[in-house]
A and B are shown apart, each in its own frame.
Chain A
Amino acid sequence: MSDPKGIGQGGKTLKQMLEENEQLYRETGCYAGMTDPHVLKEDPVRAELFHSRLMAALIAGRETCRMVSGSPFVREVAELCLGLYTPEGDNIAQSTGIQIHIKLMGDNIQWMIRKDYEEEVGIRDGDFFIANDPVISGMHAADVYDILPIFCDQELVGWVSTVIMEMDIGAVSPGCMPTANVERGTDGLKFLCERIGTNDRLHRDFEHKIENSLDMYHIFLLDRKGAMAANIRVREEIKKIVKEFGLDFYKQATRELIEEERRNQVARIKQRMVPGRYRNVVTAEFPMSKQPVAWIPAKVDTIRLIPVQMDILPEGRILLDFEGAGEWGWHAYNATPNALWGGISIVTVQTLSYDGRGNLGSLLPIDVKEPLLDSLLNPKEIKKLATSTPWAPMLDLFGMWMHMLGNTYFLRGFREETFNYRSSAGWQMAGYDQLGNKRPLLAAGTGNFGPGACGVCDGVDCGGWLATPEVDLGSAEVWELFVPHMEMSRRFDPYSVGYGRFRSGLAIPTVAMVHNTKKCVASAAVGTASDGIIPNIGQFGGYCGGRRNTIHVRFDNFQEKLQKRGPLLYELGHPGDLEDRVREMGGEIVDHGLLPEPMEVVEGDLLIAGSGAGGGLGDPIERDPASVKEDLDNGLSTEWQARNIYCVEATYDGQAKEWRIDPDATSKLRQDRRKERLNRGVPVKEWWKKAREKFVARNMDEKIREMYQSSARLSPVFAEELKGFWALPEDFVL
């Protein structure tokens, strides 16, 4: 009996092709062993035309999906992306959109290959596979991958994959990215690269399953149909390209695109960075003690460290090391080594490979030291855990990495590339919509964050969303159709800012009133869990933006207040007197926590999500007073900030309707601030001695102490560094 014929090149199986490819890379350091890529170089015009055709196919596919889908995630904020892959699952090109998934979609394909799908499950022309299990690959279970093989004659020549973030995957309330869930079963539907369609048609039994499993089945199924339409469109376009350019050219050129990008990436690293060691630390807070979870051991508040070390090596490679990351816990925020690549992908394509040619080659010069087993980034028991929101700590981790890359660009003189990023606060709801249907009610105006300052100008107001440079807030009116709430305003929040010579961009807080629902529950959303300790992303004298806030306000006698046309809260204002202002309006702040647990909300309640922006850059008292005036005139800063932070004396000219700067008073304020710093500041040695005494006496919050214990338990290297800095005796146990 002869060996079964594979569906890959020359009758090879996909597994053989994958293993050969990996071996060639190990042996040569070049993708697919391409030490002499030549096809693209020989005819650059043809090569450019070829790449443009691939990109056009992917972008057209993405737009096709947006036309078919009914979800505001797809239509309004465009949380989707398409990628084209080699038979081995390596990314060749990707559309615009959430470009986190370069490697993650490929990892799902490679999982199928390694699990012998070719022989045991079967991979045929017209088959649709679906995946959303972060244990295999992904950032959170709400991201659903639709994967279609591309055959030419009988040979599989590639794959196309679409990723869409879903509003409902049947998870425990609120149903998309729940935070009060800790066990796998509460994540909702999980698809492990399952075949859901054949011959370009969705299986009817799959539709039945979805119709009976999800509240928003129609949205989910329309998204699948959108993804199918997109994938088919790309597949057919690729077939045309193959016909036009020839199959041999297609195979060679697609691989050369990856190798070319790898070489370009090394060149960019050497052109824009400075070799050395860069360090920072992320803290992730998990306030779970009050969360209504059934697995009682999960009800504990913890904080975990994720130290980040980036070594930029003389050979033009980057090594990331998270030594000292604390232990995993019973919550939905544990990540996987795979998920780290999502963060690396998105930062890479936004800061280095932003010429539209980003693919697997962008990632090949980057290595990640495998996080220690049982750390937050690599739990042994990941299959037991909820994986609805690994995305949350990943956002802060890779916003931080962007900050670290910004440091190296700054040193090299490319100050215009210096940038940093931080995630938002948010609410999510579940309950009855305006039409009486019970369902998840997640509104995700994700484009409202304030990114960090640039090295040559202020950050772009409302201009930051790590996942994609394209996403926007979407129309308030469309979100109001999907969610029983009314947006009270969309105004920049001056107090969201990260101060500096160049300030961060400002954020737009969500201030939404619950409206027209008979029963509704709200809880925190992604990104809200880490602000007892704010991120360390102020640059070169700039401050990080303040805490992110999720605030729940309730008014007494709301209906009566409405009838009397009494005042309502529509903006955050000064953070110091919000409580007083709410009280004057006849309301109270019901919850003001870091990670609000699910709570019932009623008509008239306000759900406020106030983001904290990224970091400012440079000493705030060196900010150009003209920039302070401009911000004051535009309502983007306040007199309090001008005087107390920027040391600028400003008064409002009511007649001219603009602010006036007093240069002499400003100069004096700035001189006084310098004197104050010299008076207040102490030599670090003096501070160290006192801080050491406190550390030795274990005089610290119990959660902080446990945080250090957790990292030290896993990592002797971390324990040694901690002891070294505080000059602790060898036998010291925290």
Chain B
Amino acid sequence: MEYGKEDLRDLFDGRLPWEKMKSIMSRPKDDDRFEKYIEILQERVPWPEKILMPLGEHLSVVRKGEDRIVKCDCGHEFGDWRKNWKLSALIFVRDTTETMEEVYPGFKSPDPRLCEIREFYCPECAALLKVDSAPVGYPVLFDILTDIDSFYREWLARPLPDEKEFRDLTHEVIREWAKE
């Protein structure tokens, strides 16, 4: 089972006719999807670093020299993928009735005494990268930490050079902040 890149591009952009989209949803999955996905994403960015792993609508983990960093489509770099990229973003927190109601008017609004709507923006292109709804005081969620080397080595059978240890390094950022 495989699909042409044209169809996949249209699929990702929401332009594929429903009949075709439904067929892709229902049929057995295509084994080469990831490779074509990466090629399509790579075609769309203006920078040369190789995409190793998508992280969302605008973010990817890319290889830069010996490092793997999170990078926005616009070119903004967020640092090592093992450190929560959100800590390097801009944040706007909706924690008052007034700011909540800009999105959730009237009785649709969560309770600002209990809940925060945290919006994370790219500092360069201002894309809205993630909206978190969190209880007040909850740590910034590190939603996705991919085990990139195991993935390439064991699932794709083509290990990456310069393998890195798979572990969360976010605490290093916090430790630095705490010193200031």
| Contact present for B143 and A578 (CB under 8 Å) | no
* Complex alpha-carbon distance, A324 and B57, angstroms: 30
Chain A 487-538 residues near chain B, CB threshold 8 A: 495, 499, 501-502, 531-536, 538
Count of residues in B whose CB is under 8 Å from the partner chain: 84
- Please choose the segment from A51-59, A109-117, A123-131, A539-547 that sits at the chain B interface, where 4 or more of its residues have CB less than 8 A away: A539-547
The answer to whether B88 has its CB under 8 Å from any CB of chain A is yes
Q: Assuming the A-B contacts A704-B114, A724-B174, are A540 and B57 also in contact, with contact meaning beta carbons closer than 8 angstroms in the complex?
A: yes
Partner of A279, one of B91, B143, B154: B143
Chain A nearest CB, measured from B1 CB (Å)? 11
| Contact present for B92 and A681 (CB under 8 Å) | yes
Chain A nearest CB, measured from B140 CB (Å)? 7
Q: Assuming the A-B contacts A305-B135, A534-B110, are A684 and B88 also in contact, with contact meaning beta carbons closer than 8 angstroms in the complex?
A: yes
Contact flags B87-112 to A (C-beta < 8 A → 1, else 0):
11111110000000111111111110
Chain B 125-180 residues near chain A, CB threshold 8 A: 125-148, 150-151, 154-155, 166, 168, 171, 174-175, 177-178
Chain B nearest CB, measured from A391 CB (Å)? 22
The answer to whether B62 has its CB under 8 Å from any CB of chain A is no
Chain A residues within an 8 Å CB radius of B63: none
Chain B residues within an 8 Å CB radius of A250: none
Q: Assuming the A-B contacts A275-B150, A275-B151, are A704 and B103 also in contact, with contact meaning beta carbons closer than 8 angstroms in the complex?
A: no
* Complex alpha-carbon distance, A276 and B142, angstroms: 12
Chain A residues within an 8 Å CB radius of B143: 278-280, 407
Q: Assuming the A-B contacts A274-B151, A412-B33, A533-B133, are A547 and B110 also in contact, with contact meaning beta carbons closer than 8 angstroms in the complex?
A: yes
CB nearest neighbor in B for A542: B131
| Contact present for B121 and A677 (CB under 8 Å) | yes
| Contact present for B133 and A546 (CB under 8 Å) | no
| Contact present for A275 and B131 (CB under 8 Å) | no
* Complex alpha-carbon distance, A700 and B95, angstroms: 12
Chain A nearest CB, measured from B101 CB (Å)? 7
| Contact present for B55 and A411 (CB under 8 Å) | yes
Chain B 70-87 residues near chain A, CB threshold 8 A: 86-87
- Give the interface centre of B58, B143, B154, B166 by most chain A CB atoms within 10 Å: B143
| Contact present for A681 and B91 (CB under 8 Å) | yes
Q: Assuming the A-B contacts A410-B54, A574-B106, A677-B121, are A416 and B133 also in contact, with contact meaning beta carbons closer than 8 angstroms in the complex?
A: no
| Contact present for A303 and B135 (CB under 8 Å) | yes
Chain A residues within an 8 Å CB radius of B113: 532, 701, 704
Chain A nearest CB, measured from B147 CB (Å)? 4
Contact flags A277-317 to B (C-beta < 8 A → 1, else 0):
11111010100000000000000000101000000101000
| Contact present for A314 and B93 (CB under 8 Å) | no
- Please choose the segment from A214-222, A223-231, A613-621 that sits at the chain B interface, where 4 or more of its residues have CB less than 8 A away: A613-621
Chain B residues within an 8 Å CB radius of A270: 155
* Complex alpha-carbon distance, A722 and B92, angstroms: 21
The answer to whether B31 has its CB under 8 Å from any CB of chain A is yes
The answer to whether B48 has its CB under 8 Å from any CB of chain A is no
| Contact present for A283 and B90 (CB under 8 Å) | no
The answer to whether A456 has its CB under 8 Å from any CB of chain B is yes
Chain B nearest CB, measured from A679 CB (Å)? 10
Q: Which A residues form the contact surface with B (CB < 8 A)?
A: 268, 270-272, 274-281, 283, 285, 303, 305, 312, 314, 407-408, 410-417, 456-457, 495, 499, 501-502, 531-536, 538, 540-544, 546-547, 549, 551, 574-578, 592, 610, 612, 617-622, 624, 640, 644-645, 673-675, 677-678, 680-685, 687-689, 691, 694-695, 700-701, 703-704, 707-708, 721-722, 724-727
Jot down 30 A-B pairs with beta carbons below 8 A, ordered by A: A271-B29, A275-B151, A275-B154, A276-B166, A285-B114, A408-B144, A411-B54, A413-B34, A416-B21, A532-B114, A532-B115, A533-B135, A534-B115, A535-B133, A538-B131, A541-B131, A542-B131, A543-B103, A546-B103, A547-B110, A578-B107, A592-B107, A619-B57, A621-B128, A674-B125, A678-B90, A681-B92, A685-B177, A691-B137, A726-B139
Q: Which B residues form the contact surface with A (CB < 8 A)?
A: 8, 11-12, 14, 16, 18, 21, 24-25, 29, 31, 33-34, 36-38, 53-58, 86-93, 101-111, 113-115, 117, 119-121, 123, 125-148, 150-151, 154-155, 166, 168, 171, 174-175, 177-178
